[in-house]
């Protein structure tokens, strides 16, 4: 091969410039993923829900869920090692499935981040109300939720670094609190089976295991959100994939441990504890550990608050990416002069994240209903985004000529398993009392498809630059090796 | 933290290091735009291994993926492998321009050559020698030509780790945020200045010398006794003409 006469030209500026470049350490990148996942809430809430459905299949269901999420994470690292994105899985999907697939996935991702932020907002407000000794009536929750939303947005606008550090501290403290509470309860727990034992030890069957796995997967949603920090992370092609793999691994261990503890605790508990909204808190109350319960509430509130900031950060950056591609109005792609954050996209997020739950509460919905409903919709949004990104892996690698058997198999298996989870969840919802939630989910996700097709039909030129990422510029290569693009 | 256990190079690691170096060499030889498949074929390496090593080298920023995502080029960091030792001697014509400038001002005038990440004090004023050229070259955050070089970067932390902001005098900037501010000011102004940040009783200004293509190739540095940066700064604007004359000679 001789010296090639390439026509390669590099731009002088990255299409996603304006964000503060290369400042976040690995711990701060990890904090973004961990906070969006909200491990405390997952540890306390999810195991008991799985227990009711899966019985003795609970622990295998968590192992299966962790394995599936790790596989999805591995697929995402195929992109993460090759491109530093700001739009997360949306930008990844664009490189494999093209603009229409990307917009469908991108919309689903937006729905996922937005609704999980809403759920966490209501959750934080609920637990704060509990801490302050207030009755969690809809107006109280709405007021506290508004305050939480404002504070979280202020952190996000001030800088990803501040919000990541706050989130990391909150998560470490709250996980430690949960571990302490579970430990104390294990010491105090009676060794005799209670009336919940038949449910906890219900024989393992495939249906229960499947539903349990689906519910288990919801504990991990948001684990990939470090993928929006492609510009801001130091050594992004190393740090982002690592965070996307470590987060589900660490969360998997934590949630599994919490599940083991809860199996032991709830086996000895009366049945009405198992069916209460937060069985761990209920147990603490009944054991006379009221201060412990307060601590637990504080931990959960902190974790929910961190989740609001994490999801808002991610949501703002996906919108920022879309605005830079001119799929959305260009003004959302502006960054703050001093803080170098996508402040307009973040500010645009606030009314939706605060407004929708407040409206639902004003219309008479129960706070806990809003929390669970929003979580369900968000899980569906995330899974759609993940499935599309996993299916994009083989196409992407083939396009750049780097396809090998392992990623091909990984992408297909993860995509198919994700689809199966989605189908099982929808079928389960339609069969049970979740018809309203299922309808809301479909109503939330359908506009994405319509939007993508409409743009394809009426304004295909706006789809041209879908998939922008922090690409190489003249200053990133060895000086003199690649010429610059002529200025436009 | 547990101390790292040194097991030396084991198993297939030596082979992996050799392959990684061969890949760097291939990208350098074939040129920007070479694809992963071409690298694998050229070296006779298994594709999966090649892709993995390429991703590692891209992650460490010795290689860069071009915007189409399938071509590769050498990254900026590859320049560090050659260091500053390759700096060519300054030509006579350029020395004459500097000597001409020295005849017109009453302060130290030095020519400092710049690579993308290093400085080299190439022509030091014989009448007002620099007290310690190595301090200027090493402490980029404190010296005026160093600030000029850092202001040229997208992110100065690529060149100078934030833990390397050593305090040389009471006035040295040691907080990354303060340095950010100074570099922003330098970019706006077009030249750099510092007062008493390297030596307590010296201030200096650095005016960029740019190649015809616009790359920073050198700096004209003025040193004046005292800590008031206004004194050397007074020389900066008139020196722009000399910098323009030097550009084609050095770039």
Fold annotation for B92-250:
Beta-Lactamase (3.30.450)
Q: Supply the CATH number for residue A73's domain.
A: 1.20.1740.10
pLDDT band, residue A450 (cuts 50/70/90):
very high
User: A401: which chain B residues are within 8 Å (Cβ-Cβ)?
Assistant: 35-37, 70
CB B117 within 8 A of CB B82: no
Question: What does the alpha-carbon distance between residue B242 and residue B250 come to, in Å, rounded to a whole number?
Answer: 12
The number of helix segments (H) and strand segments (E) in chain A equals 16, 0
A76 compared with B157, residue with greater pLDDT:
A76
* pTM value surpassing 0.90: no
Of A240, A178, A185, which is closest to residue A32 (Cα–Cα)? A240
Question: What does the alpha-carbon distance between residue A307 and residue B162 come to, in Å, rounded to a whole number?
Answer: 30
pLDDT, tens digit, 9 for 90 and up, residues B83-120: 654 456 788 898 899 999 998 888 899 999 888 788 88
pLDDT, tens digit, 9 for 90 and up, residues A253-300: 999 999 999 999 999 988 888 888 788 888 888 888 888 888 888 889
A6:B32 CB<8 A: yes
Question: What does the alpha-carbon distance between residue A117 and residue A381 come to, in Å, rounded to a whole number?
Answer: 13
B73:A482 CB<8 A: yes
A481:B34 CB<8 A: no
Lowest mean per-residue pLDDT among A171-180, A206-215, A234-243: A206-215
pLDDT band, residue A143 (cuts 50/70/90):
very high
List of residues 6+ apart from A452 with CB closer than 8 A: A99, A100, A101, A103, A104, A107
CB A335 within 8 A of CB A16: no
User: B61: which chain A residues are within 8 Å (Cβ-Cβ)?
Assistant: 235, 476
**In a 10 Å sphere around its CB, with 0-12 CB exposed, 13-18 middle and 19+ buried, how is residue B97 labelled?**
buried
Rounded average pLDDT over B15-30? 93
Collapsing DSSP states into helix, strand and coil, what is residue A477? Answer: strand
Q: Given this model, what pLDDT does residue A419 score?
A: 94
CA distance A457 to chain B (A): 26
Closest CB to A404: pick one of B51, B64, B69.
Answer: B51
Question: What does the alpha-carbon distance between residue A182 and residue A281 come to, in Å, rounded to a whole number?
Answer: 10
**HSE value, Cβ hemisphere, 13 Å, CA-based, for A401:** 14
Q: Which two tokens stand for residue A144?
A: 């506290």
pLDDT, tens digit, 9 for 90 and up, residues B128-171: 888 888 888 888 999 999 999 999 887 888 788 777 888 888 88
Number of domains in chain A: 1
Q: Given this model, what pLDDT does residue B110 score?
A: 93
- In chain B, what's the furthest Cα-to-Cα distance? 66
Closest CB to A481: pick one of B60, B68, B73.
Answer: B73
Q: What is the 8-class DSSP label of residue A144?
A: H
Q: Which residue of B47, B76, B83 is the best one to mutate when testing the A interface, meaning the one whose CB has the most A CBs within 10 A?
A: B76
pLDDT band, residue B213 (cuts 50/70/90):
confident
Q: Given this model, what pLDDT does residue A4 score?
A: 47
CA distance B85 to chain A (A): 17
A475:B30 CB<8 A: no
Rounded average pLDDT over A114-131? 92
Q: Could you tell me where in chain B the CATH 1.10.10.10 domains are found? A: 13-81
B60 compared with A483, residue with greater pLDDT:
B60
CB contact burial B183-217 (16+ within 10 A = b; e otherwise):
beebeeeebbbbbbbbbeebbbbbbbbbeeeebbb
CA distance B179 to chain A (A): 14
pLDDT, tens digit, 9 for 90 and up, residues A407-421: 999 999 999 999 998
Handedness of CA A186, A187, A193, A195 (dihedral sign): negative
Question: What does the alpha-carbon distance between residue B115 and residue B121 come to, in Å, rounded to a whole number?
Answer: 12
Q: Given this model, what pLDDT does residue B1 score?
A: 44
User: B33: which chain A residues are within 8 Å (Cβ-Cβ)?
Assistant: 4, 6, 8
CA distance A465 to chain B (A): 12
Q: Given this model, what pLDDT does residue A357 score?
A: 92
For the cut 80, the answer to whether the pLDDT of residue A406 exceeds it is yes
For the cut 70, the answer to whether the pLDDT of residue A466 exceeds it is yes
List of residues 6+ apart from A171 with CB closer than 8 A: A31, A34, A35, A39, A40, A302, A303, A306
List of residues 6+ apart from B149 with CB closer than 8 A: B114, B117, B119, B140, B159, B216, B219
User: B69: which chain A residues are within 8 Å (Cβ-Cβ)?
Assistant: 82-83, 95, 400
Q: Which residue of A340, A479, A485 is the best one to mutate when testing the B interface, meaning the one whose CB has the most B CBs within 10 A?
A: A479
Of A461, A428, A388, which is closest to residue A52 (Cα–Cα)? A428
Of A412, A319, A357, which is closest to residue A120 (Cα–Cα)? A357
Closest CB to B55: pick one of A81, A234, A479.
Answer: A81
A4:B55 CB<8 A: no
pLDDT, tens digit, 9 for 90 and up, residues A292-346: 888 888 889 999 999 999 999 999 999 999 999 999 999 999 999 889 999 999 9
Name the closest residue on chain A to residue B29, using Cα atoms.
A3
Rounded average pLDDT over A138-151? 92
pLDDT > 70 in chain A, percent: 97
pLDDT, tens digit, 9 for 90 and up, residues B45-85: 999 999 999 999 999 999 999 998 999 999 988 887 876 54
Closest CB to A21: pick one of B51, B55, B154.
Answer: B154
Q: Given this model, what pLDDT does residue A204 score?
A: 84
Residues in chain A: 488
For the cut 50, the answer to whether the pLDDT of residue A3 exceeds it is no
**Domain annotation covers residue A476:** no
For the cut 80, the answer to whether the pLDDT of residue A467 exceeds it is yes
Q: Given this model, what pLDDT does residue A1 score?
A: 40
CA distance A406 to chain B (A): 9
User: B73: which chain A residues are within 8 Å (Cβ-Cβ)?
Assistant: 8, 472, 477-478, 481-482
Q: What ipTM was predicted for this assembly?
A: 0.90
User: A23: which chain B residues are within 8 Å (Cβ-Cβ)?
Assistant: 155, 157
Interface of B with A (CB under 8 A): 30-38, 42, 47-48, 51, 55, 58-61, 64-71, 73-76, 78-79, 116, 153-155, 157-158, 215
For the cut 60, the answer to whether the pLDDT of residue B2 exceeds it is no
CA distance B1 to chain A (A): 16
Q: Could you tell me where in chain B the CATH 3.30.450.40 domains are found? A: 92-250
Closest CB to B76: pick one of A3, A237, A478.
Answer: A478
Rg over alpha carbons for chain B, rounded to the nearest Å, is 22
**Domain annotation covers residue A68:** yes
Sheet with B192-195, edge to edge strand ranges: B119-123, B108-114, B216-225, B202-210, B192-195
CB A302 within 8 A of CB A40: yes
pLDDT band, residue A2 (cuts 50/70/90):
very low
Q: What is the 8-class DSSP label of residue A135?
A: -
Q: Token match 């499947």: residue?
A: A210
Q: Given this model, what pLDDT does residue B161 score?
A: 76
Q: Given this model, what pLDDT does residue A53 score?
A: 85
Q: Given this model, what pLDDT does residue A438 score?
A: 82
Q: Given this model, what pLDDT does residue A45 score?
A: 86
**In a 10 Å sphere around its CB, with 0-12 CB exposed, 13-18 middle and 19+ buried, how is residue A347 labelled?**
middle
Of A191, A229, A82, which is closest to residue B67 (Cα–Cα)? A82
Beta bridge partner(s), residue A308? none
Taking CA atoms, B99 is separated from B93, B210, B220, B229, in Å, by 10, 19, 12, 23
Taking CA atoms, B121 is separated from A463, B133, B138, B221, B238, in Å, by 51, 6, 11, 10, 22
pLDDT band, residue A475 (cuts 50/70/90):
confident
pLDDT, tens digit, 9 for 90 and up, residues A345-388: 999 999 999 999 999 988 888 888 888 888 888 998 999 999 99
A481:B32 CB<8 A: yes
CA distance A394 to chain B (A): 14
pLDDT, tens digit, 9 for 90 and up, residues A181-202: 999 999 988 878 888 888 888 8
Question: What does the alpha-carbon distance between residue A312 and residue A65 come to, in Å, rounded to a whole number?
Answer: 25
3-state secondary structure chain B: CCCCCCCCCCCCHHHHHHHHHHHHHHHHHHCCCEEHHHHHHHHCCCHHHHHHHHHHHHHCCCEEECCCCCEEEEEHHHHHHCCCCCCCCCCHHHHHHHHHHHHHCCCEEEEEEECCCCEEEEECCCCCCCCCHHHHHHCCCCCHHHHHHHHCCCCHHHCCCHHHCCCCCCCCCCCHHHHHHHHHHHHHHCCEEEECCCCCCEEEEEEEEECCCCCEEEEEEEEEECCCCHHHHHHHHHHHHHHHHHHHHHC
B73:A95 CB<8 A: no
For the cut 90, the answer to whether the pLDDT of residue A233 exceeds it is yes
Interface of A with B (CB under 8 A): 1, 3-4, 6, 8, 10-11, 21-23, 81-83, 95, 234-235, 237-238, 399-402, 404, 406, 471-473, 475-479, 481-482
B55:A237 CB<8 A: yes
Average pLDDT, chain A: 90
Collapsing DSSP states into helix, strand and coil, what is residue A94? Answer: helix
For the cut 80, the answer to whether the pLDDT of residue B243 exceeds it is yes
Rounded average pLDDT over B167-185? 90
Query: To which H or E segment does residue A102 belong?
Result: helix A89-132
Beta bridge partner(s), residue B210? B216
Long-range contacts of B207-212 (CB under 8 A, 24+ apart): B207/B236, B207/B239, B207/B240, B207/B243, B208/B148, B208/B243, B209/B243, B209/B246, B209/B247, B209/B250, B209/B251, B210/B243, B210/B247, B210/B251, B211/B247, B211/B248, B211/B250, B211/B251, B212/B247, B212/B248, B212/B251
pLDDT, tens digit, 9 for 90 and up, residues A83-120: 999 999 999 999 999 999 999 999 999 999 999 999 99
Rounded average pLDDT over A49-55? 88
- In chain A, what's the furthest Cα-to-Cα distance? 80
**Domain annotation covers residue A455:** yes
Question: What does the alpha-carbon distance between residue B146 and residue B164 come to, in Å, rounded to a whole number?
Answer: 13
- B13-81 has CATH 1.10.10.10 classification: yes
B31:A3 CB<8 A: yes
Q: Which two tokens stand for residue A8?
A: 């390669």
Give the range of the structural domain holding residue A43, as residue numbers without chain letter: 26-466
């Amino acid at each position: 091969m001789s010296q090639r006469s390439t026509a390669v030209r590099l731009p002088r500026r990255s299409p996603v410039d304006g964000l503060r470049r290369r400042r976040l350490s690995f711990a701060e990148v990890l904090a973004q993923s961990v906070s969006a996942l909200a491990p405390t809430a997952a540890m306390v809430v999810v195991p008991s829900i799985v227990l009711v459905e899966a019985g003795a299949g609970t622990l295998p269901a968590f192992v299966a869920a962790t394995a599936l999420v790790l596989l999805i994470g591995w697929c995402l690292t195929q992109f993460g090692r090759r491109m530093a994105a700001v739009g997360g899985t949306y930008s990844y999907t664009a490189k494999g499935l093209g603009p229409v697939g990307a917009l469908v996935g991108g919309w689903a991702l937006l729905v996922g981040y937005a609704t999980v932020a809403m759920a966490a907002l209501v959750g934080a407000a609920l637990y704060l109300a509990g801490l302050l000794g207030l009755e969690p009536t809809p107006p109280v929750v709405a007021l506290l939720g508004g305050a939480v939303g404002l504070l979280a947005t202020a952190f996000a606008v001030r800088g990803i670094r501040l919000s990541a550090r706050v989130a990391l501290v909150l998560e470490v403290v709250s996980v430690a609190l949960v571990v302490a509470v579970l430990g104390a309860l294990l010491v105090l727990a009676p060794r005799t089976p209670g009336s919940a034992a038949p449910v906890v030890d219900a024989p393992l069957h495939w249906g229960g295991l499947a539903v349990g796995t689906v519910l288990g997967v919801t504990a991990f949603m948001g684990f990939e959100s470090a993928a929006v920090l492609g510009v801001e992370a130091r050594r992004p092609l190393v740090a982002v994939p690592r965070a996307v793999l470590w987060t589900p691994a660490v969360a998997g261990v934590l949630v599994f441990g919490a599940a083991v503890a809860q199996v032991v605790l709830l086996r000895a508990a009366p049945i009405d504890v198992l069916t209460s909204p937060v069985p761990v808190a209920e147990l603490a109350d009944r054991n006379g550990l009221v201060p412990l319960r307060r601590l637990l509430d504080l931990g959960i509130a902190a974790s929910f608050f961190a989740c609001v900031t994490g999801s808002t950060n991610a949501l703002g950056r996906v919108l920022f990416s879309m605005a830079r591609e001119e799929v959305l109005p260009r003004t959302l792609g502006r960054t703050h002069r001093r803080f170098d954050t996508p402040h307009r996209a973040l500010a645009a997020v606030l009314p939706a994240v605060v407004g929708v739950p407040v409206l639902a509460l004003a219309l008479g919905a129960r706070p806990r209903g809003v929390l669970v409903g929003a979580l369900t919709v968000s899980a569906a949004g995330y899974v759609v985004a993940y499935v599309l990104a996993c299916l994009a892996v083989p196409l992407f690698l083939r396009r750049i000529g780097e396809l090998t058997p392992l990623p091909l198999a990984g992408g297909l298996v993860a995509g198919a398993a994700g689809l199966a989870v989605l189908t099982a969840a929808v079928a389960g919802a339609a069969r049970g009392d979740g018809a309203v939630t299922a309808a809301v989910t479909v109503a939330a996700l359908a506009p994405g498809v319509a939007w993508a097709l409409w743009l394809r039909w009426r304004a295909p030129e706006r789809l041209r630059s879908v998939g922008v990422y922090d690409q190489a510029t003249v200053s990133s290569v060895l000086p003199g090796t690649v010429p610059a693009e002529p200025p436009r | 933290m547990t101390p790292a256990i040194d097991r030396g190079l084991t198993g297939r690691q030596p082979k992996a290091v050799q392959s990684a170096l061969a890949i760097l060499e291939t990208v350098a030889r074939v040129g920007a735009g070479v694809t992963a498949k071409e690298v694998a074929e050229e070296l006779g390496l298994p594709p999966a291994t090649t892709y993995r090593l390429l991703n590692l080298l891209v992650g460490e920023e010795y290689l860069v993926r071009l915007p189409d995502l399938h071509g590769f080029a050498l990254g900026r960091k590859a320049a560090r492998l050659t260091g500053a030792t390759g700096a060519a001697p300054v030509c006579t014509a350029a020395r004459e321009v500097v000597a001409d400038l020295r005849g017109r001002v009453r302060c130290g005038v030095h020519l400092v050559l710049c690579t993308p990440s290093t400085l080299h004090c190439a022509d030091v004023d014989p009448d007002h020698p620099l007290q310690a050229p190595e301090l200027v070259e090493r402490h980029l955050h404190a010296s005026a030509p160093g600030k000029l070089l850092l202001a040229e970067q997208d992110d100065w932390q690529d060149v100078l780790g934030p833990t390397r902001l050593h305090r040389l005098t009471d006035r040295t900037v040691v907080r990354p945020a303060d340095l950010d501010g100074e570099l922003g000011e330098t970019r706006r102004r077009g030249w750099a200045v510092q007062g008493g940040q390297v030596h307590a009783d010296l201030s200096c200004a650095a005016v960029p010398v740019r190649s015809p293509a616009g790359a920073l190739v050198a700096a004209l540095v003025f040193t004046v006794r005292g800590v008031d940066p206004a004194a050397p700064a007074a020389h900066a604007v008139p020196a722009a003409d000399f910098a323009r004359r030097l550009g084609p000679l050095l770039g």
